[in-house]
Amino acid sequence: MTLCDYCGCSPDGNVSRTFNQPDRLGPAFLDPARLTTSQHLPPSSSTRMMGQIWASIRDVYCQHPLLSADSALRLLKNTRVDSPNLSTRLQWNLSTIQPYIPTQYVFTKTSRLGRTNALRPEYFRRHSKTINTHLKKVRERGHKYFPETDAKWGTGPRQLIWILVEDGEDIVPEVENVIRENQIPFIYVAYGSTHRFGNAQQNAAYAIIHRLSNSVLGHGPIVSIDDDAKVLPDLFDIAWRVKRLGVWPMGNLGPTGWEGPTYDPITKIKLNWQKHGSDDRKFPLDNGAFVFSTEVLGTGRLIGPRYWPTDYPGGESEFVSLILSKIEEVEPLCYNCHVAWHNQPLTPECITHRPNCREFDVPVKP
């Protein structure tokens, strides 16, 4: 079969590059009866949700930005409902996910060839601990969030889902097992191989989130956490403050060890933006230092299939420029808080899971 057989083509033989709502996808994508009886898809509390997610991912394969047509075709073949290879390309845990409620989308682009290398499961274990600590805090306070976030996101239930995009033709069992054993809601999908600085995987994450936030899930913040980054549980609360696009300082960067805006602790007036003197970017920030609302996707210059504008290392400033016209429009999500660190190595105690591993012993100033 060809891409046209799976995806449908225009009269000139080109695959459609338009955004498809999952509900509008043809029967070649979405067949609930077959999904219900499939032995290769992981279970879900909702057949419709399962079908929408599966169809959305295959629609992204059809458009395949920054991915070769041959790789896209192999992914489509191996994610057919009747493919014995489906479970090696796509896995999820949707058991607690509810439809149509505000959803925070945390995503991680990852690769076997990344700097985490053999320690990758341990880095994902650190993130899993952080996310679970946040979710536990939410439960302990009766599923309440910062009151200033209620005007935009409401006072009802909210949820978090973690989307992992692998730069490869299959996913990695060691990574999946860590996420699954921690019982975190997740979608883990293969999108590769590309070896394009993570840009293809970042774009794929945005494309999947665009479809899900416009179909079976709800709108909410989009948060990027690199596999080798370190974040604190408070970050996921702070992210709900976003209206359009907001930032926090990023550790292990900048001239003082922090990159981003600094504020007067009393007046909360911005004093400056810490950055290296040679950094002349319009928006000098890291990929893990900004959050934006899903409502931005599909507007302006973010209609897809290309959301991430660059194909070289970096690109954060160029992306933010698609949403904001000037740095004064950036929303402060916190004032001088320390909740995220770029390329933060694991300590030996945490690599070996010793009791003296201390990941969260850092004061937070929300």
> What are the catalytic residues?
316
Confirm whether residue 31 is marked as ligand binding.
no
d(CA 185, CA 190): 17
210 to 17, 59, 173, 306: CA distances (angstroms): 15, 12, 26, 12
Its sign, for the CA torsion 304, 165, 99, 233, is negative
What one-character-per-residue DSSP string does 297-355 give? TTSTT--SS--S--SSS--HHHHHTTT-SSGGG-EESSSS---EESS-PPPHHHHTT-T
Contact 42, 81 (CB under 8 A): no
**Displacement of CA 56 from its chain's centroid (Å):** 15
The span from the first CA to the last CA of the chain, in angstroms, equals 54
d(CA 336, CA 270): 10
Give the strand order in the sheet containing 270-274: 230-231, 340-341, 250-251, 258-263, 270-274
d(CA 77, CA 255): 49
Q: At what angle do helices 47-63 and 69-78 cross, to 10 degrees?
A: 160
**Strand boundaries in 86-156, DSSP class E:** 90-93, 103-110
Q: Is the bond preceding 46 in cis, omega lying within 30 degrees of 0?
A: no
Binding-site residue set: 228
Binding-site residue set for Mn(2+): 228
